[in-house]
Chain A
Amino acid sequence: MIKVLFFAGLAEKTGQRVVELDYCDLTVRDLKSKVIQQYPSIKQDLDGVMVAVNEEFVNADYKISSADEVAFIPPVSGG
């Protein structure tokens, strides 16, 4: 199981903040396509978001393992 977190506009569009998905051993890139299949309304947004695994930014090639927490991070606007 992978825990996926949505924030800000992504949370609004999907209607979810946390979803558990039954995948493991796939790359960030692959996870994105799976999530887009499930939530087509965020396709455009997901094309360019940052991704964090267990609270650290990772690249698209990063391999996600079971029990990882994956966060899709839209452009940030703190401060």
Chain B
Amino acid sequence: MTQANYNVTTAPLKIETVTSRVVHPHAGAINTFIGTVRELTKGKRTLYLEYEAYVPMAEKKLQQIGKEIQEQWPEARVAIDHRIGTLDITDIAVVIAVSTPHRADAYDASRYAIERIKEIVPIWKKEYWEDGEKWIGDQKEHVYYPTGRPEGLRDD
């Protein structure tokens, strides 16, 4: 198991290996977000999902999210693992762990991380149903990015 703080992997995710990477004596809170595969989306039954990633860039962008969090919450520690490949209903797709000295920041930073993942991390999800399959676009239901770049993109 790699010790890197940001991983994209085909292996099943273990929550504790992610949270353990943000444990720190200065932390008073560790917030864990666990994203799981949902069976029903708008009434439609999903059989399973397939995730695909541009792995090296996805890991870099997860790392960038960690950096952005530390700019906003300097004492935060962040670890994120995202799984790819075939995932069944209830499987864990993503684990985000954030530790901070006080709880409010841990909640806020964790929320920030998952929203940014949905904007800038090159990972794609395909839903398989009984009667078909479809690559899912982003959450704002964009089919395209009109500017060619994601909204809220920062220049490093």
Chain A residues within CB distance 8 Å of chain B:
5, 7-9, 12, 28, 45, 47-52, 55-60, 71, 73-79
What's the A-B contact tally at a CB cutoff of 8 Å?
98
> In whole angstroms, how far apart are the Cα atoms of A45 and B142 in the complex?
11
> In whole angstroms, how far apart are the Cα atoms of A28 and B148 in the complex?
10
- Contact between A8 and B135 (Cβ–Cβ < 8 Å)? yes
- Contact between B148 and A49 (Cβ–Cβ < 8 Å)? yes
Chain B residues within CB distance 8 Å of chain A:
35, 51-54, 56-58, 60, 82, 93-94, 114, 117-126, 135-139, 142-146, 148-150, 153, 156
> In whole angstroms, how far apart are the Cα atoms of A5 and B156 in the complex?
23
* Main SS class of interface, B: mixed
- Contact between B124 and A76 (Cβ–Cβ < 8 Å)? yes
- Measured CB to CB, the closest approach of chain A to B49, in angstroms, equals 10
- Contact between B145 and A49 (Cβ–Cβ < 8 Å)? yes
Contacts A9-B135, A60-B148 given; indicate if A78 touches B94 (C-beta within 8 A).
yes
> In whole angstroms, how far apart are the Cα atoms of A45 and B51 in the complex?
19
Contacts A74-B137, A75-B137, A77-B124 given; indicate if A48 touches B145 (C-beta within 8 A).
yes
Specify the chain A residue showing the minimal Cβ separation from B126.
A8
Kindly identify which residue among B117, B126, B149, B156 contacts A79, using a CB–CB cutoff of 8 Å.
B117
- Measured CB to CB, the closest approach of chain A to B155, in angstroms, equals 9
Specify the chain B residue showing the minimal Cβ separation from A48.
B144
> In whole angstroms, how far apart are the Cα atoms of A45 and B52 in the complex?
18
- Contact between B153 and A78 (Cβ–Cβ < 8 Å)? no
> In whole angstroms, how far apart are the Cα atoms of A51 and B53 in the complex?
15
